Amino acid sequence: ETGVTQSPTHLIKTRGQQVTLRCSSQSGHNTVSWYQQALGQGPQFIFQYYREEENGRGNFPPRFSGLQFPNYSSELNVNALELDDSALYLCASSVGQGDNQPQHFGDGTRLSIL
Partner 1 sequence: AQKVTQAQTEISVVEKEDVTLDCVYETRDTTYYLFWYKQPPSGELVFLIRRNSFDEQNEISGRYSWNFQKSTSSFNFTITASQVVDSAVYFCALPGGYQKVTFGIGTKLQVIP
Site for partner 1, rule CB under 8 A: 33, 40-45, 48, 56-59, 88, 90, 92, 99-100, 102-108, 110
CA distances from 49 to 17, 59, 74, 91, 110 (A): 24, 16, 8, 11, 21
Q: How far apart are CB 80 and partner 1 at their closest, in Å? A: 24
Q: How far apart are CB 58 and partner 1 at their closest, in Å? A: 5
Instruction: Name which of 13 and 104 has its Cβ closer to partner 1.
Output: 104
